[in-house]
Chain A
Amino acid sequence: MSNLVFKYTIDGNDFTRAGEASSDTKGKLKRMGLPPEAVRKVAIAMYEGEINMVIHANGGEITVEITPTQIIMTLADNGPGIADIEKAMQAGWSTASENVRALGFGAGMGLPNMKKYSDEMTIDTVLGKGTTVTMKVNI
């Protein structure tokens, strides 16, 4: 049986729509009857990633694949890339603008939260080309 796949295009210019992909995915996983804890982890990890794509990378594409054992989220953008992944993974470190902070983001918790709520996370980033984050949550 082939795996179920959802694809989303994230609009980098529209902060008001940030979170719609995560919200849609959460609804779908819930309706499929997947375990609530796995759904919660996906919702948190994907929302943080989606927000990051809007804040830092001018949007991109998110693919969610559901296998019999895992939910795999691939977040790909054509943004500036991450110069120092080690720093970016540190809680509290952020390059977000004042505007973004005023909305309750930019506290340097996005990537740490994504790692915390996924069972496996990899980051492929090339400066000036973009970043692809893959997160897997076990079912």
Chain B
Amino acid sequence: MTVNELIEKTGYRPLNVSSGYREISGIYNCDLMSVVMSKGFAGAAWVTIMANINAVAVAALTDMAVIVLSEGAALDSVMVEKAKIQDINVVQSDKPIFETSLEIYELMQNA
């Protein structure tokens, strides 16, 4: 499933989708940057509440497919600007982390 397809199927709000063709390889959850740096993986849909600029840097370094801000995490305009520059997809879900992750997981199973 691509990031574009994820948005189509879930209605998550696209905050920056500059490479929606990216294929999602799996789901990752964590809010602690040092752990994310070492455990985050290429192509991941990273479901997190960390709506800050550093999340974009970490997603870029780990080559994740999309940051999924959950719990309706507050949008930071600087973060979106940074995401555009670094070409990192960011979408927003109003659901909690678990429900969001489960939703993506089920869509991946049926893809």
Contacts and interface: CB of A to CB of B under 8 A. Distances in A.
Interface residues of B, number: 21
Interface of A: 15-16, 18-20, 22-23, 26, 43-44, 47-48, 51, 103-105, 107, 109-110, 113, 116-117
A20 B62 CA distance: 13
Interface in B17-75: 31-38, 50, 52-55, 57-58, 60-62
Given A103-B52, A104-B50, A19 B58 contact: yes
Q: Is the interface of B mostly helix, strand, loop or mixed?
A: helix
Contacts, number: 60
Given A113-B34, A117-B38, A47 B55 contact: no
B111 interface: no
Contacts of B86: 23
A104 B55 contact: yes
Given A18-B54, A19-B60, 13 more contacts: A16-B78, A19-B58, A23-B60, A23-B86, A47-B58, A47-B61, A103-B33, A103-B50, A103-B54, A104-B50, A104-B54, A107-B32, A109-B32
Nearest to B40: A44
Nearest to B50: A104
Ranked 9 nearest A-B pairs via Cβ: A19-B57, A109-B34, A104-B33, A43-B61, A16-B53, A44-B37, A104-B50, A107-B32, A23-B60
